[in-house]
Structures are given as C-alpha cells and as structure tokens.
C-alpha cells in the first residue's frame, strides 16, 4: 500500500479523465467546455509521464510535450473564435450554435 | 513513505480542484480552480522524475494558457451564472467512468501482455533535461519542428481572429481609402 506503483498513477489518470468527461457532457457554456478539455489533456499527460518513468523510456515524456504544444495552440485558436462569436451574437452557449443544422 | 504521502496528498488536491472546475456555476471559480489543479499536476511530474516536464507544465499551463483564458474572460460576462444542461446525472457519470476505464484499458493492454520494451532507455549519468534534449533533437526533431510551425499558425490565427480591423491591409489600399478610414476614426473620437 505504501509503495506507489504504475497502477496508482493509472487509476488517478482514469479518475481525472472521468471528471473531464463529466465536464464535457454537462457543460453548456463553451468556455467551461474548454476547461474540461484541458482536464482531459492533463490527465493523459500524467499517464504518459508515469509509464515513461516506470519503463525507463523517454517516449512518454516526448508525447506529453507534444500534447502540451497542441493544447496551447488549441487554446489560442479556440479562444479567438470564441471572442469573434461572442462579439457577433453576445452568447456562447452551445444550444445557441445551431446555424449549421441542415 | 515520502513518495506515498506526496502522491496521496496531491492526488486528493488535484481531484478536488478539477471537481470544482467542472461543477461550479461561477466562471471565475472554475478558472482559479483549474489553475491550481495545473500546478498540483506538475507535482506528479516532479515525483516521477520528469523535472523538465514539470517546469514546462507550470510555465505553459499555469502561465500561458491560464493568462490566455483570463484575458479571454474579459470579453465575456463572467458574473452571470453558467447554465447547465438538464439531463440524467447518473447517466453522465456512468458514461464518463466507462469511457475513461475503456481508454485506460486500451492503453495498458500492451503492459498486461508484457509486449512493451523501452525504445529510448534513459541515459546513465545524465539529468532529465539533458536526456530530453538528446531524444528530442535526434529522434523527434521533425515532430518538434512541425509543432513549432503549428504554434506559429495558431499564433497568427489568434491575432487575426481577436484583433480589430484585421481584414484590412494598409499596404494594399489606395491613399484615398486610407484617408477615409482616418477621417471616420477622427469623427468617432470627437463625437
């Protein structure tokens, strides 16, 4: 119990991923949805770093770096789009964004 | 012993912070809790010996991403309560748990079947930052450059989307058009 192994980190990663998914499913506000996706990416990073440590392999950490880079660019583009939408419609709720309905 | 205490402490703190992030109805609480959770996650990286990753986590997430969100929230009305989707709560929680467990099982299947081997073993006698440099600038050089180009594209996209009058190009306009825009601006200032 006192020895922290790979399974502990994987369980933690699972719990955080589940929290992020709950956020994605129940949030209506698009900004809150972005927060939930950040949680998802971070939980995966913990799993990568833990496997990298316990198998003595650096590939996991490399993947974590690329995940961080992708998260940063996602925030930049997503927030820009969100600002443009908010200026136009004064609302960032998901139910409101139905203009692409067929 | 120390590792176990640190792990459980930070696991509890991270889960609590992220739980606040997904459940609170105040956007500012969610932002603050998310920033705290990011910092607590970097503690796991330090425990796991991935020092460079931990530092990058603090700099990029708690620094750059949180600053971007805080900046973006100035545009939105954050004092209003965030509306939630009305639905079956147990269904949402159950689906999330099942999906998360499935993803972990998919990724840990090679571990269970012992079908995993270290591709780039840690170098003896080198620090974590040095090892990462050795791998990143040899095997992962091309993805690294592609990530750099992607960040550049994201930066340009962010500036164009959030900036004002970015659809106009002063170098492509005639003198008259530029004078017209200037007069409009002056009129706005005086009025």
The answer for B 79-118 residues in CB contact with A (under 8 A) is 82-85, 87, 89, 92-93, 95-97, 99-101, 103-104, 107-108, 111, 116, 118
Q: In chain A, where does DSSP find H-type helix?
A: 6-26, 30-54, 59-89
Check: CB of residue A61 under 8 Å from CB of residue B139. Answer: no
Beta bridge partners of residue A57, listed in sequence order: B121
pLDDT cut 70: percent of chain B above it: 86
Range of the domain at A39: 8-95
- Residue ranges and CATH numbers for the domains of chain B are 1-84 (1.20.120.1200), 85-139 (no CATH), 140-191 (no CATH)
B-chain residues near A21 (CB < 8 A) = 95-96, 99-100
Assess B34–A contact: CB distance below 8 Å, yes or no. yes
Q: Does residue A3 belong to any structural domain of this protein? A: no
Residue A47, CA distances (Å) to A12, A50, A61, B53, B189 in order:
8, 5, 10, 13, 55
Q: Report the CATH number at residue A76.
A: 1.10.287.3510
Q: What digits encode the pLDDT tens for the residues B148-185?
A: 999 999 988 888 887 777 667 777 778 888 888 888 87
Alpha-carbon gap: A77 to the closest alpha carbon of chain B (Å): 5
pLDDT of residue B71: 82
B-chain residues near A13 (CB < 8 A) = 104
For residues B86-96, give the mean pLDDT: 79
User: Is residue B115's pLDDT more than 70?
Assistant: no
Q: Judge residue A8's burial from the number of C-beta atoms within 10 Å of its C-beta, 0-12 exposed, 13-18 middle, 19 or more buried.
A: middle
Q: Does residue A100 belong to any structural domain of this protein? A: no
- Nearest 5°: the CA angle B110, B111, B112 is 95
pLDDT interval class at A95 (50, 70, 90): confident
Average pLDDT, chain A: 86
Q: Using only C-alpha atoms, what is the Rg of chain A? A: 17
pLDDT interval class at B116 (50, 70, 90): low
Q: Does residue A36 belong to any structural domain of this protein? A: yes
A-chain residues near B27 (CB < 8 A) = 29, 31-32
Check: CB of residue A31 under 8 Å from CB of residue A82. Answer: yes
pLDDT interval class at B118 (50, 70, 90): low
Number of domains in chain A: 1
B-chain residues near A28 (CB < 8 A) = 82-85
B-chain residues near A57 (CB < 8 A) = 118-122
Q: What are the two backbone dihedrals, phi and then psi, of residue A99, each rounded to the nearest 5 degrees?
A: -70, -20
Best of B16, B37, B53 to mutate (most A CBs within 10 Å, chain A): B53
Q: What digits encode the pLDDT tens for the residues B9-66?
A: 999 999 999 999 988 888 888 899 999 999 999 999 999 888 899 999 999 988 888 8
């Amino acid at each position: 119990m006192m020895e922290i192994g790979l399974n502990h980190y994987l369980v933690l990663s699972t719990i955080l991923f589940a929290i992020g998914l709950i956020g994605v499913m129940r949030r209506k506000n698009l900004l809150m949805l972005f927060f939930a996706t950040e949680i998802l990416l971070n939980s995966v990073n913990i799993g990568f770093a833990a496997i990298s440590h316990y198998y003595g392999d650096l590939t996991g950490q490399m993947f974590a770096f690329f995940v961080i880079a992708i998260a940063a660019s996602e925030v930049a583009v997503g927030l820009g789009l969100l600002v443009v939408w908010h200026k136009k419609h004064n609302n960032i709720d998901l139910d409101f964004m139905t203009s692409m309905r067929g | 012993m120390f590792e176990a205490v640190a792990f459980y402490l930070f696991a509890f703190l991270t889960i609590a912070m992220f739980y606040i992030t997904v459940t609170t109805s105040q956007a500012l609480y969610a932002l603050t809790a998310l920033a705290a959770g990011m910092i607590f996650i970097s503690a796991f990286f330090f425990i796991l010996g991935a020092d460079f990753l931990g530092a990058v986590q603090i700099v990029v997430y708690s620094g750059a991403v949180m600053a971007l969100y805080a900046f973006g929230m100035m545009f939105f009305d954050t004092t209003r309560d965030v509306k939630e989707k009305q639905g079956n709560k147990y269904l949402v929680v159950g689906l999330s748990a099942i999906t998360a467990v499935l993803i972990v099982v998919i990724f840990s299947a090679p571990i269970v079947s012992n079908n995993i081997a270290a591709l780039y073993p840690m170098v003896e006698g080198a620090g974590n930052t040095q090892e990462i440099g050795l791998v990143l600038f040899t095997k992962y050089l091309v993805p690294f450059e592609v990530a750099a180009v992607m960040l550049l594209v994201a930066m340009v996209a962010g500036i164009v989307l959030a900036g004002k009058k970015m659809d106009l190009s002063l170098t492509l306009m005639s003198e008259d058009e530029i004078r017209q825009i200037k007069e409009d601006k002056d009129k706005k200032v005086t009025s």
